[in-house]
Structure formats: C-alpha cells, structure tokens
Structure 1
C-alpha cells in the first residue's frame, strides 16, 4: 500500500495493462492478430480508410503475448516509479499518454511512407516516453537521480533501441517517437526544485 501511495499512476497503469491482457486472453488469444484487431490494435488501413482513430490510443494497452507484457511492465515499474516520484502523478500521466500517442502517430506516418502495414500493439511507445523523460530529468539533476546515473539510463535506452532494430516485428517508429516525445515533454513539464 505504501508503494501505491507514492506511485499511484505507475501502478494503476500497470494494473490496467495487466487487466486488459487477461481480458484479451480470456476471450481469445493475445497472439491472434484478428482477435487483437477486435480489441483495438493499430492497423493503418483501418485508421486511415475507416477512420478508426481510436486505435492509436487503444493499441497502447494491448500486448502480443505474456513476454511482451512483462518486458514493458518491468521497465515501466523501474523507470515509471522513479519518474512519478520526482515529476508528480499528473505530469507523469501526461508524459505516458502523450508520448505513447506520439509514438502511435509516428508509427502510422512511417507505415504510410513505407506502404507496408502491420498490426501493432503495445505500451512500448509510452514506456519509451517515460525513458526519454527520465533521460532529461537525470541530466537536469547533474547526471544522477536516486540510484540512476545518466550513463545507466542512456545505456538502457541505446540497448532497447538496438534490440528493437535488430529484431523483426518490432515497431521502431513508435519506440523512437515515444523516446523523443518523452524527452521534449519533460523539458516543459519538469522544473528542478532549487534548494534554499
């Protein structure tokens, strides 16, 4: 309960993602593409031609398989709890949702540019937004925040991006879009307290 009082937004978002995943699993399979589309996964032709813009948002709470969910929720728990403590729950939610949406939009633009469409889902864009915001916050705190250094967070970001680009079936546009959006949002949202 103590953790919930300190980081209510992070834990609430994790719970929502887990509950949605369980609902998807109970009604079908999270690795079934058509079933995921029924639940609101992003697919460019449906968004552009059918006007189903809501998919840019709903896809942020869907995951293809338990491993996909666990990976995203672990990073969200580790980084999100720290970011929320220092930036506040409302600003944290803004960074998470706006960063995730930016990642979804960039993914859509990339698909249209490439002319290749894949069904996409996952909190990765929002999680990368949290990572991007953490990079800025750590830099503003002279290279360290709690037990995180700027080197550690940059290494985490670089490796995460590298594994995304080295793997197939990963929405790298959402990752890079979320990372950049999170960093820029933190520039506007975070103001370091001056010690008197």
Structure 2
C-alpha cells in the first residue's frame, strides 16, 4: 500500500484546501444569499431595533463572545467548534507501537541464525544490527527496512486465503495497523498528520474516525477481491479515504467556499498523481481506490455544513419564514451516497466470501494496480 509520493503530496493537499476558505460572513454580502436581518419590536419602549447577523468565518473559528444576548439567540446551532485533535495523534502512536511490536516479534538475528548462516554472512545480514532483535530483515528480503512477510502474516496482514477459507475476516481491519517497513510507516504517518489533524479540528473525532476506519475497511475489501497470492498491509487505504472525504466535502459545501475551482482542480491533481504511483509493482492500488471511493461517499454523508442564513426555527420571531438548514442538492447527494455505500459493501462482502475472483469479472482491472513496462513485469502473484 505504499505510495512513494503520498506523504509529500498529501501535505500540500491540506494547504490547498485551506485556500478554498469559507466565505467570511462578516463582510457585507448580498442580503438574500448570506445575511439575515431580523427586526425585533420593543413593545414596552416603542423602539424598533434591527439586529443584523451575518455569522463569522467558520474556518478561522475566531469565536468572538461579545454578541448581545438578543443576537446570540439567533446564532447558528451547527456552527463549527474549535475541536482539539487527539484521535489522529492517537492513531499515529498506535501505528508506531504496532511497528515496534512487529520488529520485536520478528527478531531478525534469530531468524538468520535458524537458517544455518553465520551471523553477518554477505547478503543475509540484518540491517541496523545495533538494534538487536529490533533490527531489520536483509534488504534483499525487505527493502523498506522492516520485518519478514511471515511476521506480518502472523500479526494480521491481509491474506485472501486466510480471510475466505479460514474465516479470518478480522484481517480486513487489522492490516491497516501494520506496515511493511520504516519508509512505509513514515510516508503514511506524515500524510496522516498533515491530512487528519486538520480534518479532525474542523469536523471532530467521531466523523473523522469513522471515515478513517470505514475507508480502510473498504480498501481491504476491494484489495481482497483482486489480490489473492500476496499479502497486503498499510494505512494507505484509510488515508485515501480522508482524501476522498476532502473532495466530497468541498463539493457538497460548494456554495460556502471561495477559491473553490482552483482548490478542486488542485486536489484532483493530487489524487490522480497518487493513484498513478499505485500502478507501480508491489503497490496495492486496489486498497487505495477502495479507500478513496469509500471516503468520497462518506464525505457526502458526514461532512455537510449548514448553508449561510440558516437559523433555528424556534429562534425566529413570529412571521419570519424559516430557511432550510441544507440545500436540496445536499440532501440528494446524501441519499445517493448512503445508498451506494450500503450496496457497495453488501455486494463486495458477498463476492469476497463466495470466493469470487475480481479479475474474472473485470479483466482490464489488473492495469489499475500495475502496468507492465520494459522496466518491470506485473504478476498477480
């Protein structure tokens, strides 16, 4: 699941989305589109006062508290909170701890000794031997500075035969917490920090946690349908899910963003480049695609923002018409995405546990994961 450019490019992706800033309502925008003016009649003193509420910049979260008691009654109920990110850092720590466990159980020096070679023979030397049992497998076995494939399988790597024939469905989740090496781990964790922390601050740990885990699960399902004869590990599917959610969030909340076209095009380029890297051999691009599609649909479901001008119905004076919290197209996208997500998981799991080979149903799909060239060959095994 390693994408060579993933860590570097995804960081820019978050910065780019930052340029698609939410429109600052404090500016004097068109009355019909962005501003709500409510006239409140002071019956006892005969004074009519106009209270103008235009909101505050949701993304900057300035959170000024000097609104009058009357004006605060008309504030947006669903205004973004200044969430503190703790779940994404916890995920990072969990992945690092799991990698240390991998290397401890791998015990490269003991493995080399059991093969009958003297410790340190050419070609069979553990890498970074000063680490002792935490040292890495020889580079010809694992060029990513990590454990052996047998250790990864023992700890829960994604393996089609074990999932289908030995009923170890838990591997569809456990594989996203394992990494093939230090390089793999660093690339994914840097990407997770750049993408995940920003999203968690905007939308909270519940929604982002759901997107991360469900996207990783979706990526594992698609990967298992096509890759049968090799194991797969890594959090890249979950990370692509966060990228997909960023894209759908921008689309579904289109009306409240500025600089949105440039941000959309840039984000699309970043996604396409990362998917293109996935056509290299030994990269599980099916996990990337499955995670991205899952996160894309979840973004329409979980990351909706209220339109400007929406107020609580109970806070409105008598005679003032309430405005819908969400636009009609947001409801339509929500319903379509939920339907596709449920159908996709149902069909995918049914095909997986029936032992369906994805390549038999889609012959050209093999080129989504690896394109043969004069420099390398692509083999399903």
TM-score (norm 2): 0.46
- 1:172 is matched with which residue? 285
What secondary structure sits across from 1:195 in the alignment? coil
Unaligned runs of 5+ in 1: none
Largest Rg, 1 or 2: 2
Partner of residue 237 from structure 2, selected from 95, 114, 125 = 125
Structure 1 stretches of 4+ moved >6 Å: none
Q: CA deviation at 1:141?
A: 4.4
Instruction: Please give the per-residue CA displacement for 1:37-76, whole angstroms capped at 9, x wherever unaligned.
Output: 1111011011111111111111000000011111111111
- 2:273 is matched with which residue? 159
Q: Does structure 1 conserve the Cα–Cα contact (< 8 Å) formed by 2:180 and 2:233?
A: yes
**What is the root-mean-square deviation in Å for CA atoms of aligned residues?**
2.0
Q: CA deviation at 1:144?
A: 6.2
More helix by proportion, 1 or 2?
Answer: 1
Identify if the C-alpha distance between structure 1 residues 129 and 21 changes in structure 2 by more than 3 Å, giving closer, same or farther: same
- 2:225 is matched with which residue? 109
Instruction: Please give the per-residue CA displacement for 1:69-100, whole angstroms capped at 9, x wherever unaligned.
Output: 11111111111112212222101011000010
Q: CA deviation at 1:140?
A: 3.7
Partner of residue 36 from structure 1, selected from 152, 159, 169 = 152
Q: Map residues 59-138 of structure 1 onto 2, 5 A cutoff.
A: 59-111=175-227, 116-138=228-250
Partner of residue 139 from structure 1, selected from 251, 254, 267 = 251
Q: Does structure 1 conserve the Cα–Cα contact (< 8 Å) formed by 2:252 and 2:300?
A: no
Q: CA deviation at 1:131?
A: 0.7
Matched, 1:21 2:137: no
Q: Does structure 2 conserve the Cα–Cα contact (< 8 Å) formed by 1:138 and 1:144?
A: no
- 2:111 is matched with which residue? none
Q: Map residues 46-61 of structure 1 onto 2, 5 A cutoff.
A: 46-61=162-177
Whole-angstrom distance in 1 between the partners of 2:253 and 2:195? 15
Unaligned runs of 5+ in 2: 1-82, 107-135, 137-145, 310-381
How many residue pairs get matched?
186
Q: Does structure 2 conserve the Cα–Cα contact (< 8 Å) formed by 1:144 and 1:150?
A: no
Whole-angstrom distance in 2 between the partners of 1:51 and 1:130? 29
What secondary structure sits across from 1:6 in the alignment? coil
- 1:10 is matched with which residue? 88
Matched, 1:188 2:301: yes
TM-score (norm 1): 0.88
Q: Does structure 2 conserve the Cα–Cα contact (< 8 Å) formed by 1:75 and 1:127?
A: yes
